[in-house]
Amino acid sequence: MIVVNKVNKSFADKQVLHNINITFEKGKVNLVIGRSGSGKTVLMKCLIGLLTPSEGSIYYGNRDFHHLTFSDQKALRNEMGVVFQGSALFDSLTIEENLMFPLNMLTKQSFKEKLDRVNYCLHRVDLYNTNKLYPSELSGGMKKRAAIARAIAINPQYLFCDEPNSGLDPKTSLIIDELITGITHEFSMTTVVNTHDLNSVITIGETISFIKDGVLGWYGTKDEVLRTENEGLNDFIYAQPITQKIRDFVH
Amino acid sequence: MYSMGIGSLIIVMIVSVCMGSVITLQTALQQAESSWIPAWTIGYTVRTSVILELCPTIISLLLVGNLGSRITAEIGSMKVTEQVDALEVMGINSASYLVLPKIVSSLFVNPALIIISIFFALMGGYITVLASGFITGYDYIDGITYYFIMYDVWYALTKTVVFGFVIASVAAFYGYKIEGGALELGKASTKGVVVASFIILILNLVITNVMLN
C-alpha cells in the first residue's frame, strides 16, 4: 500500500500539487486520471522519487520514502518497476539486454538465472523471438510490453505506469490494460497508472483518483465513476460524443 | 572508448596528413626565397609546429565537433526519452554511470589520437617534400629529428589530456541539462561545441604560458 499524505509540490512560484491525500491499495490497479497538465506526472515523479514533494510525505507501507537514508531509498527503489510514457527502453541495448539491465544492477543472480527470468518476463507479456532485437525494431505496442517486462523483471512490489496507452490503437490499449491488470493481481502488486484513456478508466480502474488543477477532485471506483455528480470529473469523462452516449445510456 | 577512438580515427588521419602537407608547403615556399637557410629547417619547422600547436589544438577542436557533439546528443536524447529517469528509478546514479566512462575514455583517447595525428602530419609533410621536390627526403627527416626535445611531447600530451577532459565534460554537461525536445537537443549540441572550443582556446593560452614561458 502507498499512502500519499498532504503532498504539495511547487516549482519556483508555481504550485502544481495542492494537499494531495490518496491511498493506493495493494493488489489493485489504482488509476490517477485528469487532463493534461493537471499534475498527474508530477505526482508520479514524486511517488517514484524523481521529484521531492515541497511538503507532505509518501509512505510505502510504514516507510516514509523521502525521509529514508540513501541506502534505504535505494533498497526501496529495488521494489519499484516503472513503465514510462515513451517506454524509455535503452536504445543501444537489445530487448534481452534491456531486461537484464536491472537484474545486473540490482541482483546477484547467475547469468542463467537472469536469462530464465528475462525469458519468463518476455513470455508473460507475449513477446516471443524478440530477445535479440533492438527497441527501434519493435512497434509501439511491443515497446510498451517490453517496458512492462523490464519493469516486472526484478519482481517489484510496486508498479508505476505513466500513460501506458498513449499513442496506441484501441485494440493494443486493451491488451496493455489486460496485461497490467493481470500482472497486478498475479503478483499482488500495488499498481499506480496515470491515464486519460477512458476505456482504461471504466475497465481496469479498481480505484480512481481524479486530479484537477493539482487538487484531488474525486476518489472512487470504476463502478462509481459513471454515476458521479462531480462536475469536474463529468466534464473530463463526458468531453467526447462517444462518452456522452454512454452517459445517456447509463442514465 | 573503442567507439570514441575508432569513430574519429579516419577524419583525424585525413586532417593530419593535409595539415602536415600544407605547413610543409608553406614553410618550403618561405624558405625558397632565402637560399642561405638550411634545407633541414623545413622539417624542423613542421615538427615543431605540429607537435607544439597544430595537432594538439586543431585536432582537439575537431574532436569537440566530432566527439563532443556525439556525447551531447547521446546523453541528451537519453534525457529527452526518459532513459535517464529510468536509470535513476533503478537507483543508479545516472551522472556517474553515463558521464564518468566518457570522461575517462576521453582522457585516454584524446592523447592517443593526437599522437597518431602527429605521426600522420609528419608523414603528410614527408610525402609533400618527395612529391614537390623542394628538398630531399633525407633533409626532411634530418630536420624533424634535429634538436628533438622530449619536453615538447610532454607539453603536447599535457594539453591533450586537459582538452580531452574539457571535450567530454562540457559535452556531457550540456547533454545532461537538456529539458525539452529535439529542438533543445540541437541547441545544446551547438552550445556545447562553442563553449568547449572557447575553453580549449583559453586553456591553450594558459598552459602554453605556464609550460613554455
- Measured between CA atoms, how close is B172 to chain A, in angstroms? 17
Count the domains in chain B: 1
Question: Chain A residues with CB inside 8 Å of B83's CB?
Answer: 88-91
Query: Does the structure show a pLDDT above 80 at A128?
Result: yes
Chain B residues within 8 A of A91 when measuring between CB atoms: 77-78, 81, 83
> Which range marks the domain in which residue B72 is found?
2-207
pLDDT digits (tens, 9 = 90+) for A165-222: 887 788 878 888 888 898 899 889 999 999 888 888 888 888 999 998 889 888 988 8
Q: Quick check: A78 and B91 CB within 8 A?
A: yes
Contact B57, B159 (CB under 8 A): yes
Q: What is the pLDDT of residue A251?
A: 67
Strand partners, A193: A31, A161
Q: Is residue B125 part of a domain?
A: yes
Size of interface A-B (CB pairs under 8 A): 43
CB contact under 8 A, B82 and A89: no
Helix residue ranges, H only, A107-169? 111-124, 140-153
Q: Is the pLDDT of residue A229 over 90?
A: no
Hey, how many other C-beta atoms are within 10 angstroms of the C-beta on B188?
Answer: 26
Nearest to A77 among B81, B82, B89 (CB): B89
Chain A, nearest residue to B79 by Cα? A88
- Name the band, by pLDDT with cuts 50, 70 and 90, for residue A240: confident
The DSSP bridge pattern shows strands A63-64 and A80-83 to be unpaired
B8's enclosing H/E stretch is helix B2-32
Strand partners, A190: A158
In a domain, B12, yes or no: yes
**pLDDT the model gives residue B2:** 65
The answer to whether residue A78 scores a pLDDT higher than 90 is no
What would you measure as the largest C-alpha separation in chain B, in angstroms?
72
pLDDT value at position B137?
Answer: 86
**Overall average pLDDT of the A27-40 stretch:** 89
B57 found inside a domain = yes
Residue of A nearest to B77 (CA): A91
Residue B213 falls within a domain, yes or no?
Answer: no
| CA A103 – CA A97 distance, rounded (Å) | 10
Task: List beta partners, residue A30.
Answer: A192, A207
Q: Cell numbers for A19, please give them.
A: 494537499
> Residue B36 contacts by C-beta under 8 Å, 6 or more apart in sequence?
none
pLDDT winner (highest mean) among A36-45, A98-107, B161-170: B161-170
Residues in chain A: 251
| CA pair distance A16, A13, nearest whole angstrom | 10
* Stronger pLDDT, A238 or A91, i.e. the higher one: A91
Query: From chain A, which residues contact B within 8 Å (Cβ)?
Result: 48-50, 73-74, 77-78, 80, 82, 84-86, 88-91, 101-102, 105-106
**Average pLDDT of span A115-141:** 90
Determine, yes or no, domain membership for B212.
no
Which residue ranges of chain B lie beneath pLDDT 70?
1-4
Query: Using an 8 Å Cβ cutoff, are A56 and A6 in contact?
Result: yes
Domains observed in chain A:
2-250 (3.40.50.300)
Q: Is residue B107 part of a domain?
A: yes
- The reply to whether B182 touches chain A by the CB within 8 Å rule is no
CB contact at 8 A, A5 and A202: no
Q: What is the pLDDT of residue B205?
A: 94
Establish if B115 belongs to a structural domain: yes
Q: Is the pLDDT of residue A50 over 70?
A: yes
C-alpha cell at A242: 462517444
Q: Classify A160 as helix, strand or coil.
A: strand
Going by C-alpha positions, the residue among A107, A136, A132, A112 that lies closest to residue A122 is: A132
B91 contacts in chain A (CB < 8 Å): 73-74, 77-78, 105-106
Q: Are B81 and B73 in contact (CB under 8 A)?
A: no
Averaged over A7-11, what is the pLDDT? 91
Q: What pLDDT sits at residue A133?
A: 94
Q: Is residue B73 included in any domain, yes or no?
A: yes
